[in-house]
Amino acid sequence: MYRLPDLKKNTRINAIAVMTSGGDSPGMNPAIRSVTRAALNQGIRVFGINRGYSGLIIGDFTELKSGDVSNIVQRGGTILKSDRCEAFKDPAVRHQAGEILKEHHIGGLIVIGGDGSLTGAHLLTHETGIPVIGLPGTIDNDIYGTEDTIGFDTALNTALEAIDKIRDTAISHERIFLVEVMGRNSGHIASQVGVACGAEMIIVPEIDFKLEALCFSLASQRAEGHGSSGIIVVAEGPRPGLTYRLANQLEAQGEKPGVCILGHIQRGGRPTGHDRVLASCLGAASVTYLLAGFTDVMIGMIDSKITATPLLDIMEKRKPLNPQLVELAQLLHK
């Protein structure tokens, strides 16, 4: 059971702002709805900042009323739009952003985004004194301080639906398919998708792998009578083209692998029930923490409890990948 925080209000905030930043994720809309309505219910005005930090630094704000967040709980993407804003890495630009928030009498900001966006959030509150609370919004699930990020569960299920279909073709044609999922620096999506789709093998940036071992494993599976078809789930990794490079090398060893890059379909779509509940709980809790005087923290969920983790920890610590999932996939498909 999710338990919402029971904290006393001890600030005099009259208006807050909310924004989405970095790669969009399914569940950002229910989070915006929850932040907006939780604040409005306390008599606090809410401003939506359009296009993340790009909108913040030019004062592109829209006041949100309850009706503005109607019928968005089920929608993917973000009604506030999202962006990547290189200029925000400049301290002078962040100073200007602080001045703009003060001019609008905004007493607190809620930033929904991935680790980059949360880094910007930490620097903004640290340098300007404006209270800022972060929410983990990314499909990658690579954020310390929360078991799940908003959007991860939907991305996992989107990838699974696609892979189940690819599996049909792999079986019909007795072929191996390499399926690439998102995750530049982390294999959280790949490891969970891999176990859930019954992958023969999972390749993630956190764990070294040897192509020879992969070929040997495929050959011995065939010799044992299993594995005329198969799915290998590959996290995209830091250098583009990994999956095609792997396919070329497997071809050189006599395999005929198919390649499917799932790409941005993983970022879209209706949020799952899990993501909607998570986003709604964390959104409302972020307002509670802000009004109780907290700043410079991210609100996450650990063991079904809502927790506040310093943004500095989010920047400095990595959520470890569970290597057992990678091993489990290999064990279970035999």
The catalytically annotated residue of 24, 140, 148, 153 is 140
Question: Is-catalytic flag, 275?
Answer: no
Strand partners, 109: 17, 132
Picked from ligand F6P, ligand ADP, none, the partner binding residue 88 (CB below 5 to 8 A depending on kind) is ligand ADP
In the complex with ligand ADP, the residue whose CB is nearer, 37 or 122, is 122
Q: Which helix (H) or strand (E) holds 178?
A: strand 176-181
- Choice from 21, 23, 250, 284 touching ligand F6P (CB under 6 A): 23
- Choice from 115, 140, 153, 275 touching ligand F6P (CB under 6 A): 140
Picked from ligand F6P, ligand ADP, none, the partner binding residue 85 (CB below 5 to 8 A depending on kind) is ligand ADP
The CA distance from 11 to 277, in Å, is 27
- Per-residue binder mask for ligand F6P (CB under 6 A), 209-238, x = binder: ---------------------------x--
In the complex with ligand F6P, the residue whose CB is nearer, 153 or 236, is 236
For residue 147, say whether it is annotated as part of any ligand binding site.
no
For residue 175, say whether it is annotated as part of any ligand binding site.
yes
User: Does 120 participate in binding ligand ADP (rule CB under 6 A)?
Assistant: yes
Closest CA to 160 of 198, 120, 132: 198
For residue 140, say whether it is annotated as part of any ligand binding site.
yes
Strands 61-64 and 45-49: antiparallel
One-letter amino acid identity for 230? G
The CA distance from 146 to 137, in Å, is 11
CA distances from 130 to 32, 38, 72, 117, 305 (A): 20, 20, 28, 16, 27
Quick check: 315 and 119 in contact, CB under 8 A?
yes
- Choice from 114, 136, 145, 227 touching ligand ADP (CB under 6 A): 114
Quick check: 258 and 170 in contact, CB under 8 A?
yes
- Per-residue binder mask for ligand F6P (CB under 6 A), 103-132, x = binder: -----------x------------------
The CA distance from 61 to 54, in Å, is 11
Residues marked as catalytic: 140
Footprint of ligand F6P (CB under 6 A)? 22-23, 114, 138-140, 182-184, 236, 267
